[in-house]
């Protein structure tokens, strides 16, 4: 099994004719993802690499039975694209776009509360279930199918850690980038709960960073609700206060937002925490060995 996306995923790409959208649609098709539709307003009736393009999500869902979407729409129009996907009834929506205004995202977050849907991102690399479905901009070649679930606020740090897992022949069930923005859809807790419920996932990796308190909330969840072992890594110990470190959400603003506070919460919850990315793979190997023994 895998989480969020798998063999049954019928993907719709919003912004399929843009530079990023077109490029990554090609890659997703190459890695075997079932891309059934694209949406670009005004380009309905055309196709891209054999994928039919529609003017609206509603039309695309009606014609193709798409059940998930991935969004490559520029920031000023991206929140609208998320609303359109949610209104269209798609159950998994991945928004790759970086730079969506925070007020737009608060409205999206309010709207999604009454929907039975999962929004992944924005400002994220997407979701990849190795060998099943790739709804992401992640480099598929570094993944291998297996039993480790990965959830992260960062893209390249995920690739780094996944690559080291794969080099040790430790495969992954799914990798989910939840995004580096202050307001995001799904969070660590929701993804960890999906990994906990997934019989195939035997260990979860959680990659956090400075800003907010999502890691603390997740640590408490792991302690009280999870049997699956969790290995964590936090980035940003050297980040100065009040400076945005690349990701809009990665900013130390006192108290709970520091890497120290997050690590402390992880330690208190008894979670294995790595001090550098390479150590993550070592700790995962240990956790898996412990589970077998």
Partner 1 sequence: MDLYEYQGKELLRNYGLETLPGIVAGTPEEAARAAEALGGTVAIKAQVLTGGRGKAGGIKVVSNPREAREAAEQILGMDIRGHTVRRVYVEGGAEIEREFYLSITVDRTAKRPLILFSTEGGVEIEEVAETNPDAIVRLHVDPLVGLLPYQVREVTFAAGLEGDAAKGVGRTLNSLYEAFEGLDASLVEINPLVVTSEGHVLTLDAKVTVDNSSLYRHGDIADLHDVEAADVQEQRAQEVGLQYVKLDGNVGILGNGAGLVMSTLDVVAQAGGEPANFCDVGGGADAEKIAEALDIVTSNEQVESVLFNIFGGITRGDEVARGLLSAIEGTGITLPIVVRLDGTNAEEGLRILAENTPENVHTEETMLEAARRAVELARDGGR
Rounded-to-integer distance, Cα 86 and Cα 108, Å: 9
Rounded-to-integer distance, Cα 19 and Cα 142, Å: 23
Binding of residue 278 to partner 1 (CB under 8 A): yes
Considering just the CA atoms, what is the radius of gyration of the chain in Å?
18
| Nearer to partner 1 (CB atom), residue 11 or residue 259 | 259
Pure H helices in the chain: 19-30, 57-64, 75-87, 102-112, 155-167, 188-197, 214-225, 259-268, 277-292
> Residues 159, 188, 195, 221: which binds partner 1 (CB under 8 A)?
159
Q: Using CB atoms within 10 A of its CB, is residue 208 exposed (0-12), middle (13-18) or buried (19+)?
A: buried
> Residues 22, 41, 144, 217: which binds partner 1 (CB under 8 A)?
217
CB neighbours of residue 37 within 10 Å: 24
List 24, 153, 247, 262, catalytic entry: 247
The secondary element (H helix, E strand) that includes residue 126 is strand 126-129
Q: Which stretch binds partner 1 (CB under 8 A): 34-42, 58-66, 137-145, 222-230?
A: 137-145
Rounded-to-integer distance, Cα 179 and Cα 248, Å: 10
Rounded-to-integer distance, Cα 279 and Cα 232, Å: 10
> Residues 195, 236, 265, 269: which binds partner 1 (CB under 8 A)?
236
Q: Which stretch binds partner 1 (CB under 8 A): 30-38, 45-53, 61-69, 158-166?
A: 158-166
Residues numbered 7-36 forming contacts with partner 1, rule: CB under 8 A? 27
Q: For the residues of 44-71, what is the DSSP string, one character each?
A: TT-EETTEEEESSHHHHHHHH---EEEE
| Nearer to partner 1 (CB atom), residue 37 or residue 95 | 95
Residues numbered 65-84 forming contacts with partner 1, rule: CB under 8 A? 75-76
Whether residue 247 lies in the annotated active site: yes
Binding of residue 250 to partner 1 (CB under 8 A): yes
149, 205 contact by CB (below 8 A): yes
194, 178 contact by CB (below 8 A): no
Q: How far is the CB of 128 from partner 1 (least distance, A)?
A: 12
Q: Which stretch binds partner 1 (CB under 8 A): 7-15, 29-37, 96-104, 143-151?
A: 96-104
> Residues 69, 129, 133, 158: which binds partner 1 (CB under 8 A)?
158
Q: Which stretch binds partner 1 (CB under 8 A): 8-16, 57-65, 219-227, 236-244?
A: 236-244
Binding of residue 219 to partner 1 (CB under 8 A): no
The contact pattern for partner 1, residues 102-131, with x = CB under 8 A and - = no contact, is xx-xxx-xxx--------------------
> Residues 154, 172, 174, 258: which binds partner 1 (CB under 8 A)?
154
Phi, psi of 267 (to 5 degrees): -60, -45
Strands 203-209 and 145-152: parallel
| Nearer to partner 1 (CB atom), residue 53 or residue 192 | 192
CB neighbours of residue 158 within 10 Å: 25
Instruction: Give the interface with partner 1 as residue ranges (CB under 8 A).
Output: 27, 75-76, 99-103, 105-107, 109-111, 137-139, 141-142, 152-160, 163, 180, 182-183, 207, 209-214, 217, 233, 235-240, 243-250, 254, 259, 275-278
């Amino acid at each position: 099994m895998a989480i969020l996306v798998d063999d049954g995923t019928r993907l719709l790409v919003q912004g399929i004719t843009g530079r990023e959208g077109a490029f990554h649609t090609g890659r997703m098709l190459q890695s075997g993802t079932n891309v059934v539709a694209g949406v670009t307003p005004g380009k309905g009736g055309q196709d891209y690499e054999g994928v039919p393009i529609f003017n609206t999500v509603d039309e695309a869902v009606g014609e193709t039975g798409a059940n998930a979407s991935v969004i490559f729409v520029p920031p000023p129009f991206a929140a609208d694209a998320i609303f359109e996907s949610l209104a269209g009834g798609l159950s998994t929506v991945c928004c790759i776009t970086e730079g969506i205004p925070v007020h737009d995202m608060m409205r999206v977050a309010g709207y999604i509360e009454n929907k039975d849907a999962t929004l992944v991102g924005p400002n994220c690399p997407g979701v990849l279930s190795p060998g099943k479905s790739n709804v992401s901009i992640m480099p598929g070649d570094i993944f291998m199918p297996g039993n480790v679930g990965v959830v992260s606020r960062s893209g390249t740090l995920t690739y780094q850690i996944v690559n080291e897992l794969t080099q040790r022949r430790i495969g992954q069930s799914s990798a989910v980038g939840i995004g580096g923005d202050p307001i995001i859809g799904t969070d660590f807790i929701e993804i960890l709960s999906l990994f906990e419920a997934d019989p195939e996932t035997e260990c979860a990796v959680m990659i956090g960073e400075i800003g907010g308190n999502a890691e603390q909330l997740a640590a408490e969840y792991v302690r009280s609700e999870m049997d699956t072992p969790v290995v964590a890594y936090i980035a940003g110990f050297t980040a100065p206060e009040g400076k945005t470190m690349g990701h809009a959400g990665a900013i130390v603003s006192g108290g709970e937002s520091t890497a120290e506070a997050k690590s402390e919460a992880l330690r208190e919850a008894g979670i294995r925490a790595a001090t550098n990315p390479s150590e993550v793979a070592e700790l995962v190997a240990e956790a898996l060995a412990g589970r077998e023994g």
